[in-house]
């Protein structure tokens, strides 16, 4: 059973694959700071940062609050990279992301995809029998919730395990 992926999700996947390749990242875990470095986005860790994470589009700078859990910080940096590169997702999808809420949703989807890229996760999921602990060890920079999102997306795209086995 296969579900169609919407053009925005497809664009996110392609954008992530391109970024990983350009950043020289060939296997998990993905450190979003490496991707930010590749893109030339300075990441400033600041204790006075009012929100947990933000970015300045004009300066292409990412801000994260000091003292966050490392996995949370990884996710926030990934989210802000998504915001700073949203025009690539728009261009690839041919869709305009002109709504603030949608932009946040897409930045989160980008972050999930960057930390747990679908292409790798498909193999790792089936190979490990979907063992959450093993997957957390492989995708060691990703928060547990992000791995759960990846599992949900994978099963929506590929079908339940028993269907695959049949």
Q: Would you give the binding string for Zn ion spanning residues 77-116, x where CB under 5 A is met?
A: ---------------------------x--x---------
Residues 6+ apart with CB under 8 A from 32: 74, 75, 77, 78, 81, 111, 114, 115, 141
Which residues ranging from 19 to 78 are in contact with Zn ion (CB under 5 A)? none
Q: In the complex with Zn ion, which residue's Cβ is closer, 62 or 135?
A: 62
In angstroms, give the least distance from the CB of 55 to Zn ion: 8
Q: How far is the CB of 79 from Zn ion (least distance, A)?
A: 5
Beta carbon of residue 104, minimum distance to Zn ion (angstroms, whole number): 5
3-state DSSP helix/strand/coil % of the chain, to nearest 5? 60, 10, 30
In this structure, what is the dihedral angle of CA atoms 77, 79, 82, 86, given to the nearest 10 degrees? -130
**Applying CB under 5 A, which residues contact Zn ion?**
104, 107
């Amino acid at each position: 059973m296969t579900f169609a992926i919407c053009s925005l999700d497809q664009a996110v996947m392609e954008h992530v694959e391109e970024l990983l390749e350009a950043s020289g990242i060939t296997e998990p875990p993905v450190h979003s700071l490496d991707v930010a470095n590749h893109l030339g986005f300075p990441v400033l860790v600041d204790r006075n940062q009012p929100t947990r994470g933000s970015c300045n589009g004009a300066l292409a700078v990412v801000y994260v609050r000091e003292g966050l859990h490392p996995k949370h910080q990884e996710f926030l940096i990934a989210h802000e990279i998504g915001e700073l590169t949203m025009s690539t997702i728009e261009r690839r999808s041919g869709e305009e992301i002109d709504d603030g809420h949608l932009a946040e949703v897409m930045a989160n989807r980008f972050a999930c995809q960057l930390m747990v890229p679908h292409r790798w996760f498909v193999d790792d999921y089936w190979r490990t029998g979907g063992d959450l602990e093993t997957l957390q060890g492989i995708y060691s920079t990703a928060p547990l919730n992000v791995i759960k999102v990846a599992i949900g997306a994978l099963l929506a795209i590929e079908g339940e395990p028993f269907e695959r086995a049949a």
